[in-house]
Amino acid sequence: MERAEFPFLGYGAGLRRPHYAEVAGGRPRMDWFEIVSENFMVAGGPALKTLERVRANYPVVMHGVSLSIGSTDPLDRDYLRQLAELARRIEPAWISDHLCWTGAAGRNLHDLMPMPFTEETVAYTAGRLRTAQDILGRRIAIENVSSYLTYTASSMAEWEFVAAVADAADCAILLDINNIYVNAFNHRFDPYAYVDAIPRERVVQFHLAGHSDYGTYLLDSHDHPICDGVWELFDYAVGRFGEASTLIEWDDRIPPFATLAAAADESRSRARAVLSRRVRSRAEGATR
């Protein structure tokens, strides 16, 4: 996979409606923004104009929620056409979506449903990913999703599934650190083992977000600050994958923009600290 297709963008935040005016009008300090593609797949109007103004000043990544790459419905070519049209319009750094299904039989659950982790679904999903990439004319990044159930049919671990699909589809991985943390609690696995199993060369982006603790499960709610456990897992991921474009997601109970900027700054500081420790320990190793 050619890393130049996914240049390092720095530390960014999701572009959400309460911040449109501030971001489009004020050019606040932020390395880059990620949009939810479907929010801008409209004929026209203020949202698209805002996006064009933001794009004029920042790199933008298009992050979709409805590719439904694991669905057993035919690939939605009209959706892909609209996605390609939006990409032509705003020239994103890249396009990403989720390793999941969002509906079947023509219905959309508007949720990111997990896949059964089997050899068959690896082959099936990877085949559809390759087709989608061909239609879009570019490699895309695929994100590991949070989940609250596992299927009896699954015969491999989630991290094996993510790695196998990315390899078979020759696509990039958008590694959501919070989703790993949430799933590790919900399904009782070691989140650090998950990170260790993901192929280094495919990870081009990190997501960071907050979640809600319901006692018996963690919900990927994107409505809280990032917890210490997720930050620590992020540090570990940076240690393994190096510096990758990092994004703060906050979708509900959205705080002032300054809070997002502070979280992006913290991700930058932590990543730099991890990398500088790594350089120091290498240097010390060389002089021993």
Partner 1 sequence: MTPTDPPPLSLRDLQLQLMRMIVAPTGVAEAIAEEPALAANGLGAIVRGDDRLSARERVEIYANAYFYRLLDVLKEDYPLTFTALGSDRFHNLITSYLLEFPPTEPSIFFAGRHLADFLRTYPAAVERPWLPELAGFERAMLEAFHAADATPLDASALRSTPPAEWPGWSMRLAPAVRLLMGDWAVHETAGPNPAVILPDPPRSTPAAIAIWRRDGDVLFRGLEPPEAAGLARAAGAQGARFEEICAAVAAKIANPGDAVESINRMLARWLADGLLIELDR
Binding site for partner 1 (CB under 8 A): 38-39, 41-49, 66, 68, 71-72, 76, 79, 82, 101, 103-111, 113, 116, 120-121, 124, 148-153, 188, 216-217, 219
Q: Min. distance of Cβ 275 from partner 1 in angstroms?
A: 37
User: What phi and psi values does residue 142 have, to the nearest 5 degrees?
Assistant: -120, 135
Q: Min. distance of Cβ 79 from partner 1 in angstroms?
A: 5
Residue 132 CA to residue 142 CA, distance in Å, equals 12
Q: Min. distance of Cβ 106 from partner 1 in angstroms?
A: 5
Q: Min. distance of Cβ 20 from partner 1 in angstroms?
A: 10
Specify the DSSP element, H or E, that contains 33: strand 33-36
The maximal CA–CA distance of the chain, rounded, in angstroms, is 64
Question: Between residues 105 and 286, which has the closer beta carbon with respect to partner 1?
Answer: 105
Q: Is 281 helix (H, G, I), strand (E, B) or coil?
A: helix
Contact 238, 271 (CB under 8 A): yes
Residue 202 CA to residue 165 CA, distance in Å, equals 11
Question: Between residues 84 and 104, which has the closer beta carbon with respect to partner 1?
Answer: 104
Question: Between residues 138 and 187, which has the closer beta carbon with respect to partner 1?
Answer: 187
Question: Between residues 23 and 204, which has the closer beta carbon with respect to partner 1?
Answer: 23
Question: 272, 207, 200: which is closest to 245 by C-alpha?
Answer: 207
Q: Min. distance of Cβ 154 from partner 1 in angstroms?
A: 8
**Sign of the alpha-carbon torsion through 155, 156, 157, 163:** negative
Question: Between residues 8 and 217, which has the closer beta carbon with respect to partner 1?
Answer: 217
